[in-house]
Amino acid sequence: MSEIDPRAIVSKSARLGEGVKIGPYAIVGDEVELGDGCVLHENAVVRGPSRLGRENRVFSFAVVGGDPQDLSFKGERVTLEVGDANQFREFSTINRGTVKGGGVTKVGSHNLFMSYTHVGHDSVVGSHTIFVNGATLAGHVIVEDYATVGNFSPVHQFCRVGRYAYIGAHTVITQDVPPFSKVVTPRHTGCYGINNVGLQRHGFSTERLKTLEKAYRFLVRSKLNTSQAIAKMRETMPDSEDVKELIAFIETAERGLTK
Which tens digit of pLDDT belongs to each residue from 66-93? 999 999 999 999 999 999 999 999 999 9
A 10 A CB-CB count for 183 gives 16
Q: How many CA atoms lie within 13 A of 17 on its CB side?
A: 15
Establish if 258 belongs to a structural domain. no
Catalytic residue among 118, 139, 140, 150: 139
Pair 164, 236 in one domain: no
A 10 A CB-CB count for 12 gives 5
Residue 257 has pLDDT above 90, yes or no: no
Establish if 86 belongs to a structural domain. yes
pLDDT of residue 187: 76
Establish if 257 belongs to a structural domain. no
pLDDT of residue 172: 95
In the chain, how many domains are there? 2
Catalytic residue among 41, 118, 121, 140: 121
Identify the weakest region by mean pLDDT among 4-18, 55-69, 153-167, 176-190: 176-190
Residue 212 has pLDDT above 90, yes or no: yes
For strands 154-155 and 182-183, give the pairing: unpaired
139 belongs to the catalytic site: yes
Establish if 228 belongs to a structural domain. yes
Q: How many CA atoms lie within 13 A of 98 on its CB side?
A: 16
Quick check: helix, strand or coil at residue 100? helix
Pair 112, 170 in one domain: yes
Domain boundary among 156, 183, 210: 183
Establish if 167 belongs to a structural domain. yes
Q: Which of the 8 DSSP states describes residue 221?
A: I
Alpha-carbon gap, residue 142 to 249, rounded angstroms = 46
Pair 178, 211 in one domain: no
Q: What is the mean pLDDT of residues 107-132?
A: 98
Using a pLDDT cut of 90, give the percent of the chain over it. 90
Alpha-carbon gap, residue 218 to 231, rounded angstroms = 10
145 belongs to the catalytic site: no
Residue 189 has pLDDT above 90, yes or no: no
Q: How many CA atoms lie within 13 A of 142 on its CB side?
A: 12
Pair 244, 163 in one domain: no
Domain boundary among 155, 183, 211: 183
Residue 149 pLDDT class (50, 70, 90 cuts): very high
**DSSP string computed for 34-59:** E-TT-EE-TT-EE-SSEEE-TT-EE-
pLDDT of residue 2: 86
CATH number at residue 209: 1.20.1180.10
Establish if 189 belongs to a structural domain. no
Pair 37, 139 in one domain: yes
List, edge to edge, every strand of the sheet that includes 9-10: 9-10, 27-28, 45-46, 63-66, 93-95, 118-119, 136-137, 154-155
Pair 93, 213 in one domain: no
Alpha-carbon gap, residue 83 to 127, rounded angstroms = 9
CB 4 within 8 A of CB 24: no
Pair 68, 164 in one domain: yes
Catalytic residue among 122, 134, 140, 150: 122
Q: Which of the 8 DSSP states describes residue 234?
A: H
CB 130 within 8 A of CB 112: yes
The kind and range of the H/E element at 21 are: strand 21-22
Quick check: helix, strand or coil at residue 90? coil
For the chain, give the number of residues.
Answer: 259
β-strand partners of 107: 82, 125
Residue 168 pLDDT class (50, 70, 90 cuts): very high
Q: Give the model confidence (pLDDT) of 238-254 as tens digits.
A: 999 999 999 999 999 88
Query: Does 49 sit behind a cis peptide bond, omega within 30 degrees of 0 on the bond before it?
Result: yes
Pair 97, 221 in one domain: no
CB 136 within 8 A of CB 156: no
Range of the domain at 238: 196-251
User: What rounded mean pLDDT belongs to the chain?
Assistant: 95
Q: At what angle do helices 241-251 and 226-236 cross, to 10 degrees?
A: 160
Q: Give the model confidence (pLDDT) of 28-40 as tens digits.
A: 999 999 999 999 9
